[in-house]
Structure 1
């Protein structure tokens, strides 16, 4: 990614609304799908992009804005892709680098910073689940998961 100009940096805002989250998700996956390392993983998975974007927008809207709507377990959802194209440390690091740089390119503020922290935790949790390894980091791996309450749909 190219360095940002002062004008571009000045126009950044925080992640405040679902539209902001969707913009982040679309931009990130545009980079990831075309990435030399990550692109082949998405190609092998035959990703349905509209569905994937909608699901990830739901996920990150829940993680960052507290909006209900995401259903599922992102760690378990990636097991089939990992079986087809085993994820390496390089995959996790590249995913995190791209996600962080996409946030930094477009957003600034406390929610943007929280997004980077949650992404780091997600990458470490995914690595632990899929590879059985914790990596060289002492980061806690505690992503927030949906809870189901009796009587709530």
Structure 2
């Protein structure tokens, strides 16, 4: 969701997500939009989100996912279960979350890591939807690891797919 029209200069000045500061800008911008969104905002309000802590945690998470920076601890999918119990997520919530995330990336960034961010967000939304809906894949369903291996080599951080029951 872009709240102001982007000028040609805005578009020309975008760069890739290269630093932790870039990741924090993405996280802060995205959650500002999400908190004010008419569909997602009520979920955040009902969850009584501590925004400073949430932004710090999500910056750690996305810095790990996109830049390979270690520091995030937690289970991102499981962390949403208490919120789901209070305010169940519908398909429209996942779709809106993803639309806002992709739009926020596109508003601020362009490049390989920006594309990786959108890909990882798509995978996260899908995995979260499945988990919270109680869906589980078959034992031999391939899985995709979604962590960056090196900030200097974003192409090397492309997902690796493992098949079979031992890939989990």
Partner Cα separation in structure 1 for residue 88 and residue 145 of structure 2 = 22
Alignment match of 1:106 (pick from 93, 105, 108): 108
Partner Cα separation in structure 2 for residue 5 and residue 14 of structure 1 = 18
**Could you tell me which residue of structure 2 aligns to residue 52 of structure 1?**
54
Partner Cα separation in structure 1 for residue 77 and residue 88 of structure 2 = 14
**Could you tell me which residue of structure 2 aligns to residue 121 of structure 1?**
123
State the Cα distance separating 1:131 from its structure 2 match: 1.2
Give TM-score, length-normalised by structure 1.
0.87
**Which structure has the larger Rg?**
2
Partner Cα separation in structure 2 for residue 133 and residue 110 of structure 1 = 31
Partner Cα separation in structure 2 for residue 53 and residue 98 of structure 1 = 16
Give TM-score, length-normalised by structure 2.
0.80
Corresponding residue pairs, total:
140
Partner Cα separation in structure 2 for residue 143 and residue 130 of structure 1 = 19
Partner Cα separation in structure 2 for residue 141 and residue 69 of structure 1 = 23
**Could you tell me which residue of structure 1 aligns to residue 151 of structure 2?**
none
Tell me how large the CA RMSD over aligned residues is. Answer: 1.6
**Could you tell me which residue of structure 2 aligns to residue 83 of structure 1?**
85
Unaligned runs of 5+ in 2: 137-141, 148-168
**Could you tell me which residue of structure 2 aligns to residue 62 of structure 1?**
64
Partner Cα separation in structure 1 for residue 105 and residue 22 of structure 2 = 10
Unaligned runs of 5+ in 1: 135-139, 146-153
Partner Cα separation in structure 2 for residue 90 and residue 141 of structure 1 = 25
State the Cα distance separating 1:118 from its structure 2 match: 0.2
Partner Cα separation in structure 2 for residue 7 and residue 15 of structure 1 = 18
**Could you tell me which residue of structure 1 aligns to residue 42 of structure 2?**
40
